[in-house]
Amino acid sequence: MSVVKSSVLALAMLAAAPVFAAVTINIDAAKPGAVINKNVYGQFAEHLGTGVYEGMWVGPKSDIPNTRGWRNDVVGALKELHVPLVRWPGGCFADVYHWRDGIGPQDKRPHNVRSNGSVEEINAVGTHEFFDLIDMLGADAYINGNVGTGSVQEMSDWVEYMTADGGSPLARLRAQNGREKPFKVAYFGIGNELWGCGGNMKPEYYAGLYNNYWTFLRAPEQHKPKMIAAGGDISWTDVLSRDLKDRTTGISIHQYTVPTGNWNIKGKTLGFEEGEWISTLAAASKMDQIIKDHVAVLDKNDPEKKIGLMIDEWGTWYDDADTSSSALFQQNSLRDALVAALSFHIFHEHADRVPLTTIAQMVNVLQAMILTDKEKMVLTPTYYTFQMYVPFQDAKSLPLAIKDNTSYTLGTTTIPGVSASAARAKDGKLYLALVNTDPSKAVDVAVDVAGTKVKGAAGKVLTSAAMDAHNTFQNPQVIKPAAFSARAAGGKLSIKVPAKAVMVVALEE
Ligand code: AHR
Return the axis-axis angle of helices 203-215 and 234-243, rounded to nearest 10°: 40
The CA 4 to ligand 1 mean position distance, Å, reads 37
Q: Give dist(CA 421, CA 431) in Å, integer.
A: 8
For residue 120, indicate whether it is catalytic.
no
Q: Give dist(CA 216, CA 160) in Å, integer.
A: 10
pLDDT at 4 over 50: no
pLDDT at 254 over 80: yes
For residue 274, indicate whether it is catalytic.
no
Going by CA atoms, what residue is nearest to atom 5 of ligand 1?
Answer: 91
> What is the predicted pLDDT for the residue at 324?
64
> What is the predicted pLDDT for the residue at 167?
86
Question: Residues 185, 134: contact at Cβ < 8 Å?
Answer: no
Q: Give dist(CA 256, CA 330) in Å, integer.
A: 14
The CA 372 to ligand 1 mean position distance, Å, reads 20
> What is the predicted pLDDT for the residue at 346?
98
pLDDT tier at 113 (50, 70, 90 boundaries)?
A: confident
Q: Is 471 in the pocket of ligand 1 (CB under 6 A)?
A: no
94 CA closest ligand 1 atom index: 6
192 CA closest ligand 1 atom index: 8
What angle is formed at CA 431 by the lines to CA 280 and CA 485, rounded to 5 degrees?
Answer: 90
pTM comes to 0.95
Neighbours of 157 (CB within 10 A): 20
pLDDT tier at 115 (50, 70, 90 boundaries)?
A: low
Q: What is the pLDDT of residues 307-339, one digit of tens each?
A: 999 999 999 999 976 666 668 999 999 999 999
Three-state DSSP at 452 gives: coil
> What is the predicted pLDDT for the residue at 116?
62
Q: What is the pLDDT of residues 182-232, one digit of tens each?
A: 999 999 999 999 999 999 999 999 999 999 999 999 999 999 999 999 999
The CA 428 to ligand 1 mean position distance, Å, reads 38
State phi, psi for 384 to the nearest 5 degrees: -65, -35
> What is the predicted pLDDT for the residue at 112?
87
pLDDT at 14 over 60: no
The CA 91 to ligand 1 mean position distance, Å, reads 5
Neighbours of 200 (CB within 10 A): 11
Write the DSSP string, 335-362: HHHHHHHHHHHHHHHTTTT--EEEEE-S
pLDDT tier at 9 (50, 70, 90 boundaries)?
A: very low
Question: Per-residue pLDDT averaged across 35-56, rounded?
Answer: 97
pLDDT at 13 over 60: no
The CA 92 to ligand 1 mean position distance, Å, reads 6
Distance from first CA to last CA of the chain, Å, rounded? Answer: 40
pLDDT tier at 277 (50, 70, 90 boundaries)?
A: very high
pLDDT tier at 120 (50, 70, 90 boundaries)?
A: confident
46 CA closest ligand 1 atom index: 6
Q: What is the pLDDT of residues 278-310, one digit of tens each?
A: 999 999 999 999 999 999 999 999 999 999 999
Q: What is the pLDDT of residues 141-182, one digit of tens each?
A: 999 999 999 999 999 999 999 999 988 999 999 999 999 999
Contact residues for 507 (Cβ-Cβ < 8 A; gap 6+): 429, 430, 431, 432, 447, 449, 454, 456, 457, 493
> For residue 141, what are the β-bridge partners?
86, 185
Going by CA atoms, what residue is nearest to atom 1 of ligand 1?
Answer: 360
pLDDT at 16 over 70: no
Three-state DSSP at 134 gives: helix
Q: Give dist(CA 454, CA 491) in Å, integer.
A: 8
| Ligand 1 mutation target, pool 192, 362, 367, most atoms within 8 A of CB | 192
Phi-psi region of 169 (alpha: psi -120 to 50; beta: other; left: phi over 0): alpha
Q: Is 313 in the pocket of ligand 1 (CB under 6 A)?
A: yes
- Max distance between CA atoms of the chain, in angstroms, equals 72
Sign of CA dihedral 261, 266, 270, 276: negative
Question: Residues 344, 285: contact at Cβ < 8 Å?
Answer: no
Write the DSSP string, 275-315: HHHHHHHHHHHTHHHHHHHHHHHHHHH-TT--SEEEEEEEE
The helix (H) or strand (E) run that includes residue 401 is: strand 400-403
The mean pLDDT value of the chain amounts to 94
pLDDT at 3 over 60: no
